[in-house]
Amino acid sequence: MRYRRANIEGGTYFFTVVTFKREKFLTQPDNVSLLREAFKVVMKKHPFIIDAFILLPDHLHCIWSLPENDNDFSNRWRLIKSYFSRNCNKKYKQKPSEVRKRKKEQAIWQRRFWEHLIRDDDDYKTHVEYIHYNPVKHHLAAAPIYWEYSSFHKYVQKGVYSKDWGVSEEIVFDQRIGGE
């Protein structure tokens, strides 16, 4: 079976990107800064809007809106991942497998990423909520407000969420959401 990605110009997409062997190093302060830098560098040449974002120790989720007449999110991810990999502190790199040695790849990221084309406003809302609730789902925070590496705080500032959203109730999502 051949894998095919969604291909809508100007689309809005949900992504899951995972570290190689789920190594937990993304939230190390130097790596947080480096990932921000990688996004900024790529966004200068290949603009897009980050609608929602969460960074966890071994993966990240985000929603991007691409410019009109542009559907090339794969190249953007390739550039972000390679910038990060080239500049990442060596102690977080895994010993490369034989396949990766032959291809001269860094063993930092899983090769592929999960993407989902956002279909409508309800789909968008569900994926934004999934992103913001993810640290609670993974037992990294008692509530979304307590997780530092999240766009949740901007959503609270805009009045989309109250600070106590997700505090007292468990939010359960359809298993098909997230690509984890």
CB neighbours (10 Å) of residue 27?
A: 17
Is 149 designated active site? yes
Q: Which residues contact 160 (CB under 8 A, 6 or more apart)?
A: none
Do 167 and 145 touch, CB atoms closer than 8 A?
yes
- Longest CA span, the chain: 50
What are residue 159's phi and psi, to 5 degrees?
Answer: 85, 10
C-alpha–C-alpha distance, residues 49 and 65, integer Å: 5
- Of residues 130, 149, 155, 161, which has the active-site annotation? 149
Residues taking part in catalysis: 149
